[in-house]
Structure 1
Amino acid sequence: MNRLIGAGVCAGIMLSMTLSTGANASSNTLAGKWRLQDASSTQATLDEAVENVAQEMNFFIRALARPVLKKQTQICQQWSLGWQAEQFQWQCDDAIADVIPTSANGEVIKKDDEGIEISGTYQSMSDGVVVVLTSERGKRTNTWKQISENELQFTVKLESEKLPTPLTWSLTYKKP
């Protein structure tokens, strides 16, 4: 699951981040750069999410699980979001942009560096976008939801057979 959830889910895909607006209503205001708000409390938010999952685990597993779970809670100082040629692309800080076809509905969109197939689903809503990435290791649901003209809520939900409950957290971003 580490490879699925890591920052480079689609690292093999080289793509420029030319942002453009798409056909749906959410893309008109969702496209662009978004900066993390309340950075001072971000680590505490992520630590709490990890602890909520770890406390449900067997006592002996907790010590091993906490560092693995913490590794999965990546903090993006800035998101760049956009649509291009019927694809949605998202970029965390200076990482390589990830991309998914806007028509993706559970088909394999790539293989990770270990050859594990990753399927994806893209869903556009009037106020946001949901991208679900699934492999044999588990499922990651990324949701970018616009809560006001210049405010975005990014929510992640990680699910796996190895987790007693999903690992979930939300962070708030604003347009610079």
Structure 2
Amino acid sequence: MSQLIKISLVSAMFAASVQVTTVQANEPDVTGTWQLQDAEGAQATLDQAVENVAQEMNFFIRALARPALKKQTQICTQWQLSRPTSPFRWQCDRLEADVISLDAQKVLLKTDEEGVAIFATYQQTSDSVVVILESERGKRTNTWQRLGENELRYTAMLESEKLPTPLTWTLTYTK
């Protein structure tokens, strides 16, 4: 009888460890230091994204809009991403790192230099981590998607009622 209990206990422990492994395998692993792949083409990618949005605007507003949109786009030559168990931490180049709890649902992240409150939400899919930043000016969705062992795709999308269409760009990084 005790032999049967031991076998059942071992089976139950094995099943539990398989379930835990499956859950961890479904979580995206974007942790690491990621370097921009195509530095020369990155600026052209951002310029094209700005131009695509500017072309949708009134002709008289375009000249004013382009510099404002370019200010909102930035090229991170390096992303440092870490996700221990909690929280998620992301850092672009040498800028100050931002941190958000994995269960964050629209929490105050920080206040910008003009005193505007920026709220953040954390989401994840099976292969990506998404951080949504919102303020009275609009919304920025940052997505870090693991493509392979050493490849990461970063997509940023800026939305605002002042924009005729979202400003979106995608860059690729390697470890």
After TM superposition, the score normalised by the length of structure 1 is 0.81
Deviations 1:96-155 (A, max 9, x none): 111111111123233223332221110122211000010111000000001111100000
Residue 117 of structure 1 corresponds to 117
Taking only aligned residues, the RMSD between alpha carbons, in angstroms, comes to: 1.7
Q: Does 1:155 align with 2:155?
A: yes
Q: Return the index of the structure with the highest Cα Rg.
A: 2
Asked if the contact 1:26/1:128 (under 8 Å) is kept, the reply is no
Asked if the contact 1:86/1:101 (under 8 Å) is kept, the reply is yes
Deviations 1:20-59 (A, max 9, x none): xxx8547674111000001111111111000000001011
Q: What amino acid is aligned across from residue 135 of structure 2 in structure 1?
A: S
Deviations 1:41-97 (A, max 9, x none): 111111100000000101110000001111111001100000246211101111111
Return 5+ residue gaps in structure 1 as ranges.
Answer: 1-22
Residue 108 of structure 2 corresponds to 108
Asked if the contact 2:130/2:143 (under 8 Å) is kept, the reply is yes
With 104-113 and 75-84 compared, the bigger mean Cα shift is at 104-113
- Change in Cα spacing, 1:74 to 1:67, as seen in structure 2 (3 Å) is same
Asked if the contact 2:28/2:129 (under 8 Å) is kept, the reply is no
Choose between structure 1 and 2: higher helix proportion. 2
Alpha-carbon distance in 2 for matches of 1:109, 1:35 = 25
Q: Tell me the number of residue pairs that the alignment of Structure 1 and Structure 2 aligns.
A: 153
With 152-161 and 86-95 compared, the bigger mean Cα shift is at 86-95
Residue 5 of structure 1 corresponds to none
Residue 91 of structure 2 corresponds to 91
Q: Report 1 or 2 for greater relative contact order, CA contacts < 8 Å, sequence distance ≥ 6.
A: 1
- Change in Cα spacing, 1:111 to 1:166, as seen in structure 2 (3 Å) is same
Residue 62 of structure 2 corresponds to 62
Alpha-carbon distance in 2 for matches of 1:128, 1:171 = 14
- Change in Cα spacing, 1:111 to 1:141, as seen in structure 2 (3 Å) is same
Asked if the contact 2:120/2:131 (under 8 Å) is kept, the reply is yes
Q: Does 1:80 align with 2:101?
A: no
Return 5+ residue gaps in structure 2 as ranges.
Answer: 1-22
Q: What amino acid is aligned across from residue 174 of structure 1 in structure 2?
A: T
Percent pairwise identity: 63
Residue 49 of structure 1 corresponds to 49
Asked if the contact 1:108/1:118 (under 8 Å) is kept, the reply is yes
